[in-house]
Every structure is written in structure tokens, then in C-alpha cells.
């Protein structure tokens, strides 16, 4: 069964600190892996997209890594800011003829405290 698991469920860090969120997936065949940020009451916003041939992708202070052999990904946030407080969702797209339905993880709820 296609699944996406994330850890930790929640995380509290101090402003300015770094953190790393983890994602494991069992989706096969695999097209791409995405990280989304979801603020409370808002829709998800895309941070990064990686295909199976890409190992890392950066977007400002966000850096995602992908190991397609072990089916693991991580999202590293550098120098956290209060506005980084949100849910971070790992999302995998199975290969499905290009229509790209998305399979969502449950997310990691990050709280950045001053």
C-alpha cells in the first residue's frame, strides 16, 4: 500500500536554531517527492519538488534531501524564524501517467518560539 510516514509528529525549537524533519515512503512506482508548508487555516504551499534522480533541492532556508534507494527524505530548516511555525508535509506522487495525484503524509507540526 502506498504510504508516507513522517517524524517527529511535532517539534518545538527556539528562533534561530536549525531543525531536520524526516519522511519515509513506500510509494511505488515513484514519480517525485515534494515538501509542502501548511499554515493553520490555509492551503498547502509548495517548498520543493524532487524527482528520483535528484538528491537535494534548496529553496532559501529550506533544503530537502532524497535517498530513493532507502525511500527516505528530509527537510532541513536553517536559522528558523517565528514565521516558520506551521505543518510541514511530505508528499509523494506515484507514477500515474502524468496526472500526478499526491499522497500526503500526516505532517510535522513545527513551533518556533522566541
Partner 1 sequence: EPEVTQTPSHQVTQMGQEVILRCVPISNHLYFYWYRQILGQKVEFLVSFYNNEISEKSEIFDDQFSVERPDGSNFTLKIRSTKLEDSAMYFCASRLDISNQPQHFGDGTRLSIL
Rounded to whole angstroms, the maximal C-alpha distance in the chain is: 46
Window of 7-15, 16-24, 71-79, 99-107 that interacts with partner 1 by CB under 8 A = 99-107
> Is residue 26 close enough to count as binding partner 1 by CB under 8 A?
no
The three cell numbers of residue 47 are 517548498
Q: Among residues 34, 66, 86, 88, which is the contact residue for partner 1, using CB under 8 A?
A: 34
Geometric angle at alpha carbon 72, from 67 and 77, rounded to 5°: 95
Window of 7-15, 17-25, 69-77, 102-110 that interacts with partner 1 by CB under 8 A = 102-110
- Is the backbone peptide bond immediately before 102 cis, with ω within 30 degrees of 0? no
Percent helix, strand and coil across the chain, each rounded to 5? Answer: 5, 55, 40
Q: Among residues 30, 44, 80, 110, which is the contact residue for partner 1, using CB under 8 A?
A: 44
Please state the closest distance from residue 111 (CB atom) to partner 1, in A. Answer: 17
Q: Among residues 19, 21, 75, 89, which is the contact residue for partner 1, using CB under 8 A?
A: 89
Amino acid at each position: 500500500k502506498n504510504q508516507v510516514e513522517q517524524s517527529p509528529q511535532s517539534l518545538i525549537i527556539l528562533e534561530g536554531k536549525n531543525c531536520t524533519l524526516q519522511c519515509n515512503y513506500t510509494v511505488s512506482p515513484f514519480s517525485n517527492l515534494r515538501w509542502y508548508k501548511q499554515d493553520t487555516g490555509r492551503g498547502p504551499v509548495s517548498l520543493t519538488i524532487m524527482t528520483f534522480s535528484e538528491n537535494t533541492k534548496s529553496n532559501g532556508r529550506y533544503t530537502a534531501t532524497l535517498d530513493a534507494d532507502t525511500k527516505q527524505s528530509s527537510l532541513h530548516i536553517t536559522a528558523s524564524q517565528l514565521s516558520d511555525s506551521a505543518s510541514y508535509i511530505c508528499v509523494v506522487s506515484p507514477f500515474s501517467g502524468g496526472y500526478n495525484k499526491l499522497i500526503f503524509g500526516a505532517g510535522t507540526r513545527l513551533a518556533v518560539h522566541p
